Structure 1
Amino acid sequence: MKKAYKAFILKYRRLLILFANLFLVSLSYYLSFMLRFDCNLPTDYFKVFIKTLPFLALIKLSVFYYFGLFRGLWRYVSIYDLKQIIKANIVATVVFISGSIFLYGASIVSRFIFVNDFIICVFLIGGIRFLTRIIRERYHGPLLENERVKVLIVGAGEAGILLLKEYRHNPTLGEVIGFIDDDKAKQNETIQGVRILGDRNAIPKVAKDCNAREIVLAIPSAKGEVIRDLIACCKVPNIKLKIVPGLAKIISGELKISLREVRPEDLLGRETVSIDECEIAKYLRDKKVLITGAAGSIGSELCRQVALRFHPAGLILIDHNENNLYFLTLELKSKFKNLNIKSIIGDINDIGLLKKVFSECKPQAVFHAAAYKHVPLMEENQIAAVKNNVLGSRNMIYAAHHYKVDRFVLVSTDKAVNPVNIMGLSKRLAEIFLQAKARRSKTKFMAVRFGNVLGSDGSVVPLFKKQIEAGGPITITHPDTARYFMSIKEAVLLVLQAGAIGVGGEIFILDMGEQIKILDLARDLVSLSGLELGKDIGLEYIGLRPGEKIREEMLLDKEKDKVTKHNKIYISQADELDVVTLRKQMKELEGYVNSTDKEKVVKKMKEIVRKSHAE
């Protein structure tokens, strides 16, 4: 029944609006006559009313149509619409007076009737619209049956006020019961009838007293430290926490104005990365781009961003993970139907495969993201780490040089800074070899270092989420463990930007801000789930695993590292390298790898890294 009613309204909406306006215009004109004669309308003037009504209705409906009064949605009526109604009635009244004088003579209708009609018509035409909006906001149909969710908005600024208006336009979202704001001048004041109930420290008490079911953070400009502190204050059982996206993302068209659950990357709270798309497009637009590790977290996002923003001539995807590569290829082909995509399942240690791919596909830009990255696992599988991260990277560098690739970007890690584990050593060796080759190649080789990527495959965030879903406990190595973090998209955009800046041989370092304690991250993720760490979800310290540090080395030394024209990208000072000696050392290392001599492999790796620093 309800569906049939809605279908009827949608089908005949314009016609119903037309008849509603015709009725109100007629009623207004009739009431004007009645007021003129104190509700005792003489027969002669009733005849005048009947005689002039069609002409008035024709004029008013025509003018209303011209001013767009039949097109607006009444649920969103505003002061602008009221102004349009007033303008339309002024024009219609002037035309009607002029027409009446021309057709019927000056004395047929009293001037008092014209004034009455204008006032009453504005009141009726505007009133029905505003009444519709008020009824819809206060007594929305489905909400008569179900109680609305009570919402507390944190932040009584512009974003909070916009959010309040959105809730009132769409009552199904919930009912705003109050604001929270730290500004003392705003305490106990009201905004559009909604009271500011306290500062962030009052959130638990206010939420409990008002029976709130949702808390919305409406501070788009807040930094990560502020967001983390607010989340800590919002630790109230069984309450959902949502956030308003950054306004920069909304303005850029990346997001619609809508609420969403708080994501782990919101805890970083950094400003949106801005890149020079024109500069990046110069080396990617209409070029063939090869990406290794394409099915991984960084590799797949590289594929998406390159395809979406820079319109390459083709994408060549290399990965040994058949499943992930298959689904990535399906995704890209469905989104970018005109893009030439070649997906290759293979290993970067397969020299024959690399020769075939580079000779046939002729890539002009290469992003080398293929790597083994799990520190404890690489401590147990040292030979595999060196084969993939060192020798595989060497093979890619050789191929890029031999087949005259324009640019080659190696995705590296913060663990390559003063490395103490196999994973860090292997990535540092790849950097060393890349820098050495860059001195004797026309290919522009460069590396980009950054820390942990939030939400990437196998990272701490997905692990914590699984542990929370399983009911705990959350496992942490040490209470003081801290890491640098960056979102996947942020990392990828800066990798693309670094690729445009490089002239060959640089190691770019991304400014990742301050390290974040893993314990704080775990606590915040548990809070986002509406639970409390230590009470609802257990916590277990398991001790540092082989190769792990409590805190990472300082990724960026702003006094030592060179500044680029991009404020988030720095250049690490390059080491002076003896290319001939390095080539011999790499051959020795490869021999130890082939003979699976772990001790000699590790010893040789440390020797090469130590000598590169000494030189």
Structure 2
Amino acid sequence: MNYRTRLLLLILMDSLIVSTAIFIASWIAYPYEPVIHTSSLIISAIALLVFHHLFAVLYNLYKKVWSYASVGELTAIVKAITLSIIGTGIVQFLVNDFEIYKRALLVTWMLHVILIGGSRFIWRVLRDRYIFKSEDKKRTLIIGAGSTGAMIVRQIKDQQNAELLAIGFIDDNRSKQKMQLYNLPVLGSTKDIESVIKNHKIEHVIIAIPTLRKAVLHEIVTTCNKLKVEAQIIPKMEDLMTGKVSVNQLKNVEVEDLLGREPVELDIQTISEYVTGNTVLITGAGGSIGSELCRQLMRFTPKKIVLVGQGEYSIYSIDMELREKYRDVDIDIIPLIGNVQDRARMFDIVEKTKPTIIYHAAAHKHVPLMEYNPHEAVKNNIIGTKNVAEAADTFGVNTFVLVSSDKAVNPTNVMGATKRVAEMVIQDLNTRSKTNFVAVRFGNVLGSRGSVIPLFKKQIRQGGPITITDPEMTRYFMTIPEASRLVIQAGALAKGGEIFVLDMGEPVKIVDLARNLIHLSGYTEEDIPIEFTGIRPGEKMFEELLSESEVHPGEVYEKIYVGRTTEVNPMELLHFISQFESLSNEGIKKELMQIVSTKSIKSAIEK
């Protein structure tokens, strides 16, 4: 139906209601004797007709989409009708020798509200119940009967072509049990999900609680997977705050949602004091951690942010992303191509950009690959760190933060050993420099390049199998944003010489991770089998964040521990660096293990 036809029908319908209602009202108000003369009724009907259309235009009653009508539209109708009745009363007062037929006008007002309002809302009822039938729609359960859940249900109801049919809510708030929201009942708490899904033949679950604890989320998803019910979750909290949530933006639950821990509140004041208005340099800025560090740091409006990396496309990508997102913010973004192994280039960059803080995220991190390429691991992870750190010392950088790894603890592989030696390099520099050198150590980062999640997803897309080295293999996991936030927080806590250790929560069996991913992808282990291939060169069965002698219950900040290591022998490090290129692969491994074993971490944990 086009606009003109719809407008004409509304005007004709309203005209019929308005012109006849005064006569019906007169009969209802004065049933036994005709008090109002016919001429007065005709004048009143004409006055009502004129005033109604006048105020209908004023309140846009003919422009509203009545299939989505709510309280706001009803209020507009009542205002227009009330003003038209008042106007007609004034006309009666002037025409009928100062007499107003109050009872007739009151009944007329009631008839107008019922008939005109009802004519608008009846279309919504017809549409919801009869026109757009629900047989082919997915029966949907909403987890959370709060403002977000209400928003989701309203959008489902308002979308004529929505594939979902909202059946009810689940909410742990006792005061909401057996209550209704948008005519939908609260069917129970999260403990009742399995029975609710079975009893109400639920096919689809939407998790609409922004602050839902990860453990509860995991239980819900596990139940949905068991019952073969699709589960989706609302977007990020910041999208909710800006009003971007819609049914179309709901996303499938990812394994990152299940393994990520409860969010840590940053010390905004402390971070702002050392980032805002200063120059920040990030090496490896195009990588997973480096690029997220850039995104997080931009929130604190540094004066300049220097993006350093050897990959042309990765630096171009993060540069364009930041410029697009922060186009209205006065931050100087400087993209620079450079290899940390190029000492002269690193010194030139630090000298010209004069950063206050350096985050050194550039590294080779793939364990089996570095076993085959120990020379490259040493050049990038040790010499690259030494180059950037010494440039920071030479040009008076205030804080240098090395992004390290849990594999630096009692290392059994080349990658872990080179990261441990990199820690030693900056700790040695810290003893004789005005720059505060610190390292931040954490485990595997979900979704980072070369990590297990993208590999498993690729194997699932290919129909399997998923390959795992050993059924008992465990790892610590952290999301990229969480790791980046805690790196920034640790930098704000730096006094010099510390190794900050991020609390990674409980270790996760890789096989459990694979099973979760299979189920979240809509498959079973019969569809996507799991194969065990045996431990690869340099791999540990279990990862550590600190050795037993270092463990201490105190935290310097939420989820952040800190320790100081014993003194480093700089001559031993320099000797290795000066002659490693002449060594064989096995020779490098032997020398590295000797250095890290004689200088193993024996720190005094401090608050």
- Write out per-residue CA displacement over residues 283-316 of structure 1, whole angstroms, 9 at most, x where no aligned residue: 2233322111111111112222323x12233332
Query: Which residue among 298, 321, 330 is the counterpart of 1:331?
Result: 321
Tell which deviates more after alignment, 229-238 or 420-429. Answer: 229-238
Task: Give the alignment partner of residue 166 of structure 1, picking from 155, 158, 172.
Answer: 155
Measured in 2, the distance between the counterparts of 1:441 and 1:13 equals 79
Of the three residues 424, 429, 433, the one matched with 1:437 is: 429
SS class of match (1:509): strand
**Alignment length, in residue pairs?**
592
CA distance in 2, matches of 1:360, 1:445: 21
- Please point out which of 257, 264, 268 is paired with 1:277: 268
Q: 1:156 to 1:285 in 2, by over 3 A?
A: closer
Please tell me the root mean square deviation across aligned C-alpha atoms, in Å.
3.7
- Alignment partner, residue 25 of structure 2: 32
**In the alignment, structure 1 residue 115 sits paired with structure 2 residue 115:** no
2:473 pairs, out of 472, 481, 495, with 481
- What secondary structure does 1:216 align onto? strand
Letter in 2 for 1:168: K
Normalising by structure 1, report the TM-score.
0.84
Is the 8 Å Cα contact of residues 144 and 207 (structure 2) preserved in structure 1? no
Contact 2:374 2:414 in 1 (8 A): yes
User: In 1, are the aligned partners of 2:347 and 2:388 still within 8 Å (CA)?
Assistant: no
Q: Distance in 2 between matches of 1:152 and 1:377?
A: 46
Letter in structure 2 aligned against 1:587: L
* Contact map agreement 2:308 2:335 (CA 8 A) in 1: yes
**CA deviations over 1:406-457 (Å, ceiling 9, x no partner):** 2221111122223222212211221222222223222222222221111111
Corresponding residue of 1:529:
521
Q: Distance in 1 between matches of 2:475 and 2:551?
A: 21
Determine the structure 2 residue equivalent to 1:613: 601
Q: Give, in whole Å, the separation in 2 of the partners of 1:498 and 1:31.
A: 78
Deviates more, 1:549-558 or 1:595-604: 549-558
Indicate whether 1:199 and 2:192 are aligned: yes
Look up the match of 2:290.
299
Give, in whole Å, the separation in 1 of the partners of 2:175 and 2:44: 59
Q: Which moved more, 1:253-262 or 1:57-66?
A: 57-66
**Corresponding residue for residue 365 of structure 1:** 357
CA contact (8 A) 2:442 2:545 kept: no
Tell me the amino acid that sits aligned with residue 320 of structure 1.
Q
Residue aligning to 1:266: 257
- Asked whether the 8 Å contact 2:207–2:234 carries over to 1, the reply is yes
Q: Unaligned stretches of 5+ in structure 1?
A: none
User: 5+ unaligned residues in a row in structure 2: which ranges?
Assistant: none
Mean alpha-carbon deviation: is it higher for 234-243 or for 188-197? 188-197
Return the alpha-carbon distance in structure 2 between the equivalents of residues 274 and 13 of structure 1. Answer: 53
Q: Distance in 2 between matches of 1:556 and 1:385?
A: 24
The code of the aligned residue for 1:227 comes to: L
Instruction: Decide which moves more: 442-451 or 329-338.
Output: 329-338
Give the structure-2-normalised TM-score: 0.85
1:353 aligns to what? Answer: 345
Whether 1:149 aligns to 2:123 is: no
Contact 1:239-1:530 within 8 A present in 2 as well: no
Displacement of 1:324 in angstroms is 2.2
1:390 matched residue in structure 2: 382
Cα shift at 1:13: 8.3
Partner of 1:598: 585
Q: Give 3-state SS (helix, strand or coil) of 1:310's partner.
A: coil
Once the two structures are superposed, the pairs formed by residues 48-447 of structure 1 within 5 Å of their partners are: 48-57=40-49, 59-60=51-52, 73-79=65-71, 81-82=73-74, 85-86=77-78, 89-90=81-82, 93-94=85-86, 96-98=88-90, 100-107=92-99, 109-138=100-129, 143=132, 148-153=136-141, 155=143, 157-158=145-146, 160=149, 162-173=151-162, 174-177=164-167, 192-193=183-184, 196=187, 199-202=192-195, 205=198, 210=201, 213-235=203-225, 240-245=230-235, 248-250=237-239, 252-253=241-242, 256=245, 258=247, 259-268=250-259, 270-307=261-298, 309-337=299-327, 339-447=331-439
Which whole-Å deviations, capped at 9, do the CAs of 1:465-514 have from their partners, x for residues lacking one?
A: 10110000011122222221111112112222222222322222222221
8 A contact 1:366–1:405 mirrored in 2: yes
More off after superposition, 68-77 vs 454-463: 68-77
Return the letter of the residue paired with 2:398. Answer: D
Using a 3 Å threshold, how does the CA distance of structure 1 residues 195 and 286 change in structure 2: closer, same or farther?
closer
**Alpha-carbon separation, structure 1, partners of 2:401 and 2:5:** 60
Residues 91-134 of structure 1 show CA distances to partners (whole Å, capped at 9, x for unaligned) of 65455435532454343x53221121111112123323322332
Looking at structure 2, the residues matched to 561 and 403 of structure 1 have their Cα atoms a distance apart, in angstroms, of 37
Aligned pair in 2 of structure 1 residues 65, 357: CA closer, same or farther (>3 Å)? same
The 2-side partners of 1:63 and 1:556 are apart by 78
Residue type of the partner of 1:539? I
**Superimposed CA distance per residue, residues 126-174 of structure 1 (whole angstroms, 9 cap, x where no aligned partner):** 323322332343456xx56x96431331536435555333322324331
- Give how far 1:14 is off: 8.5
